[in-house]
Amino acid sequence: MALFPLPDSYRQSLVSVGQGHQLYVEESGNPDGVPVVVLHGGPGGGCSPFMRRFFDPRRFRIILFDQRGSGQSRPLASIRDNTTAHLIADLESLREALGVQQWRVFGGSWGVTLALAYLAAHPQRVAGMVLRGVFLCRQQDRDWLYTSGGAARLFPEAWQVLQQQAPPGEGNLLQRYHQGLQGDRARYHARSWCNWESTLALTSVLPPGDASDDELCMAMQETHYFLNDGFLATPLLAACAGMTLPVEIVHGSRDFVCPADQALALHQVLPGSRLHWVEGGSHSSSDPAIANALVAAVKRLEKRIDD
């Protein structure tokens, strides 16, 4: 199914959520429509106008926002008072500020992690979910990304570059990059960090150099969260097991960021979930096959809720 034309945003704002953080929020589509909140990946990935195109703007009130330390939220790239518990509280603050009683939740990659953590904390606020590129943030999932026994075996040259460009010092790869991101060469190391994920996502890799603000946010938040086990008090599968709300799961067969066993494991604990494999699909929502599957998933979810 084709993407919808890009709707203009009708409201943009900075919403204060405490501890000095302000979230960038934008709304598009139908102000009186069905509310859907979009949770971006990363952590630290930020939202983009492209994310509006999965939803019929005549039907939906499309709510995009940048999580703490991401995108246009302020302070830029901040990891202070930035945990999953803070992000869940931010979602509730945002929901109340926007006058929403219950919403659909749409998330990809880390956005799935946050969606599941939010569902576990506030199940009555979620009418249904569309989840893409499932990331459960277990130790094995992080090891796949950042140890030699995981994706490094599929992309050995890119893995070698990631190691060669790593900040000097002691500790494992995550620890060294996190430390390097606090120093004078933070943007150089952020570029290297993000290029590794781009390789796994089968998207464009940039030449070595200083990172953009978006890359800095991604590198800062990912190393911060992953060194702290995603700040998850309870494993997500256990926290959400048995919940019967309608869930549409979309996962690409060539997703090298989030191996497919994560999508299957989630499907098996959610009785109301349906799992849709996208043959040849990669991790990115901009992959045409994944993007079309997401449009179809949103439509299926609405039909299930309406029925």
- Chain-centre distance for alpha carbon 248: 16
- Chain-centre distance for alpha carbon 45: 7
283 flagged as catalytic: yes
Q: In this structure, what token pair is assigned to residue 245?
A: 């709300």
Give the angle subtended at the CA of 293 by the CAs of 290 and 295, to the nearest 5°.
115
Q: Which residue has the tokens 């009708």?
A: 10
Q: In this structure, what token pair is assigned to residue 220?
A: 């800062």
246 phi/psi in degrees, rounded to 5: -70, 130
109 flagged as catalytic: yes
Which of 177, 195, 231 has the alpha carbon at shortest distance from 43? Answer: 231
* Nearest-angstrom CA–CA distance, 8 and 49: 9
Which amino acid type is present at position 194? C
* Nearest-angstrom CA–CA distance, 4 and 57: 8
Out of 28, 283, 284, 287, which one is annotated catalytic? 283
215 phi/psi in degrees, rounded to 5: -65, -40
Out of 255, 267, 273, 287, which one is annotated catalytic? 255
- Secondary structure of 230-262 as H, E, C letters: HHCCCCHHHHHCCCCCCEEEEEECCCCCCCCHH
DSSP state of 71: T
Q: In this structure, what token pair is assigned to residue 94?
A: 């945002």
78 flagged as catalytic: no
Out of 28, 78, 109, 198, which one is annotated catalytic? 109
* Nearest-angstrom CA–CA distance, 152 and 147: 7
8 burial class (0-12, 13-18, 19+ CB within 10 angstroms)?
exposed
Sign of CA dihedral 235, 148, 182, 193: negative
Residues belonging to the active site: 109, 255, 283
